[in-house]
Structure 1
Amino acid sequence: MKMRALRLTAWGEPPAPAEVERPTPRGTEVLVQVEAAGLCRSDLHVIDGAPGSLPYRLPFTLGHEVAGRAAALGPDADGVAVGERVVLYGPWGCGACDRCATGRDNYCDRRDTLTWHGAGLGRDGGMAEYLLVPSARHLVPIGDLPADQAAPLSDAGLTSYHAVAGLRHALREGTSTVVIGVGGLGHLAVQILRATTTSRVLAVDVREDALALADRSGADFGTLMRPDTARVLRARTGDAGADAVLDFVGTAKTLELATGVLRPGGELAFVGSGGGCLTVSKPGVLPPGFRLSLPFWGTRPELAEVVTLARSGALHVESERFPLSAAPEAIGRLRRGQVRGRTVLVPD
């Protein structure tokens, strides 16, 4: 039986709609009927990849943010029931190392030897009517959570949660946290900070509508990125500087702002993949004693915690829905920076 899918067939070329065989689950595999698949900038990085820059073998179906319903099980599958609604844990490691065994596939010890990094990242993903998942360990139940809310949690929500979790020890009462970039990840980071810490949240973006989104998400203060933004933010912290900064953009300018507003001994989470870099030297211009983290995605237990937050009402994904057939339009809007929050594709 055939199904529709959005396939990457050539590096640097737009993905193409195709009809492919619907997979049949074997062994521990689970076939998921897709209800929604998120689209994010990392998909653009994959599409735009130069030949040889990624270890993935073409062709494959895009889509690593996926929510749906278990439709069929392989004979050895367990941990999920047919009909159960689930969200996908997207990073797939080797499945054999200690980190994968504890649900930390995002930091798989054998990551550099694999020809995939997960669903839609070298393996067929969820921009299709069905998705074949290697094991139920990559699935988290969502109950009655709407699919367009659940799908973005698997990356935008999880990555933000993981980044905040790494800083949470420093975010006690009276501290300040700066969130740079209030898009698909950033607006969820603001909500996660409000739900899991007592830190004041200061938001920065280049777009007025993004600051409005930050305000709706619970930020205490928002400001456009300008030459004097570091001074403005420092004034909001009593001139001490921010205790933590989450940079969801990662350009040279945003990293300059991040280090310029961070107080000595502060925490910087470098999340965005905007091509910026930090030069570390001692002595140098970086805040003395600051700690740098490079969070990547998150763990399966953390995804379960994110789902719990969303089901409690503490997290709401601001999203725009497109039918899968309109994926080229959605991709174009994302490239032009015209997306508010997260883009979600749903089967026609």
Structure 2
Amino acid sequence: MTTMKAVRFTAYKTFPELKEIERPAPGPGEVLLKVAGAGACHSDVAVYDEFEPGMNPLVDPEYTLGHETSGWVEELGEGVTGFEVGSAQLVYGPVGCGHCPACSRGQDTYCQNVAEMDYAGIGLGRDGGMAEYVTVPARNLVPLGDADPVPASALADAGLTPYHAIKLALPRLNRAGAYALVVGLGGLGLMAVQILKALTGATVIATDMKPEAMAEAEKYGAVTVPSGEDQVARIREITGGRGVDAAFDFVGIAATARAALDSAAVQSRVTIVGIGNGSTIDWSFLSTPYEAELVTTYWGTVEELHELAGLYRDGKVEPLYTTYAMDGALQAYRDLQDGKISGRAVVVPHGQA
């Protein structure tokens, strides 16, 4: 038996373990990847640290974490063609039934037969990429060409999630004089700033509590406003008083959602992307701008990941990341929980490309 190292989610309310497990073999329609990079995500922390048994049976333990994965094709399963061994690929994490209307348009996140599935996605109930090797349905692979696959791993969630939210808001932003607001400048927020600059001509306003995060956003062309009592007033001042056309909250707690809503213009769109902590906010007709939309989104489509990979190959977006060796993978999660990570923590089981 050939073994490998993997970060395993073993029980709820329990920190993951680094284990030696059997190396997988690709089944029919699958590809075995030699993992180049695996991103550590706050969603992982939510599952193992905050979820209770029964909340979502599709992510019940035990399995290997890692829903942000890139790698090199190592072996093709039965019936798989069109992939060259050694080629760099990015993994689309969601896995639906594959035949309902949502899955047919590449939106496995909203699979209509999710109750029939055994897992929510790769690294979410099914063994993921926080390991030396991972098996992936061939349909879930996005080619990276000659681009470095290590930082590309962060595109699979930290890139795709804001990309999807921003694409849905483009009708609000594709006009002269538009303003966009990014609340929260972690891995997703910093990617959002770059995506907004790549896809729109909008002035991007970014806000966070951390000066270093705002400094990174400024490098990407954002105008920054620190969190605080006068946060909304300063945002509205930048927009000439009318507010922003689209706001994206990548935190999702009551205070950040309130700041996004209070900064919104008439006929704007406010998207809550961050999971937050389940806080609620008050709403009233008279305090909400007319025809302002308040929506949520979840992840994105495989087609959008192909588009985002194209932006990455063209040098239009570049994830900010810190690498960890496989033996330091648990430290990556500790640093993530302690707020020590700027951008994304990426585990590189086989070293840099």
One-letter amino acid matched to 1:195: A
Q: Work out the CA distance in 2 between the residues paired with 1:284 and 1:335.
A: 39
Structure 2 residue aligned with 1:211: 214
Answer yes or no: is 1:108 the counterpart of 2:111: yes
Gaps of 5+ in 2: none
Structure 2 residue aligned with 1:157: 159
The answer to which of 21-30 and 203-212 deviates more is 21-30
Q: Work out the CA distance in 1 between the residues paired with 2:227 and 2:262.
A: 13
Answer yes or no: is 1:258 the counterpart of 2:297: no
Answer yes or no: is 1:84 the counterpart of 2:87: yes
Matching of residues 5-154 of structure 1 within 5 Å? 5-48=6-49, 49-55=51-57, 56-133=59-136, 135-154=137-156
Structure 2 residue aligned with 1:239: 241
Question: Does the 8 Å CA contact 2:7/2:330 hold for their aligned counterparts?
Answer: no
> Identity of paired residues, percent?
41
The answer to which of 70-79 and 265-274 deviates more is 70-79
Answer yes or no: is 1:335 the counterpart of 2:337: yes
Q: Work out the CA distance in 1 between the residues paired with 2:282 and 2:114.
A: 26
One-letter amino acid matched to 1:200: T
One-letter amino acid matched to 1:210: A
The number of aligned residues is 345
One-letter amino acid matched to 2:336: L
Aligned residue among 198, 202, 210 for 1:199: 202
Q: Work out the CA distance in 2 between the residues paired with 1:168 and 1:209.
A: 28
Matching of residues 214-229 of structure 1 within 5 Å? 214-219=217-222, 221-229=223-231
Deviation of 1:27 after TM superposition, in Å, equals: 1.1
Q: Work out the CA distance in 2 between the residues paired with 1:76 and 1:68.
A: 20
TM-score, normalised via structure 1 length: 0.96
SS in 1 for 2:225: strand
Deviation of 1:110 after TM superposition, in Å, equals: 1.9
Task: Give the superposed CA RMSD.
Answer: 1.3
Q: Work out the CA distance in 2 between the residues paired with 1:331 and 1:26.
A: 30
Deviation of 1:278 after TM superposition, in Å, equals: 4.0
Gaps of 5+ in 1: none
Q: Work out the CA distance in 2 between the residues paired with 1:308 and 1:5.
A: 30
Deviation of 1:144 after TM superposition, in Å, equals: 1.7
SS in 2 for 1:344: strand
One-letter amino acid matched to 1:8: F
Question: Does the 8 Å CA contact 1:148/1:319 hold for their aligned counterparts?
Answer: no
Question: Does the 8 Å CA contact 1:28/1:78 hold for their aligned counterparts?
Answer: no
TM-score, normalised via structure 2 length: 0.95
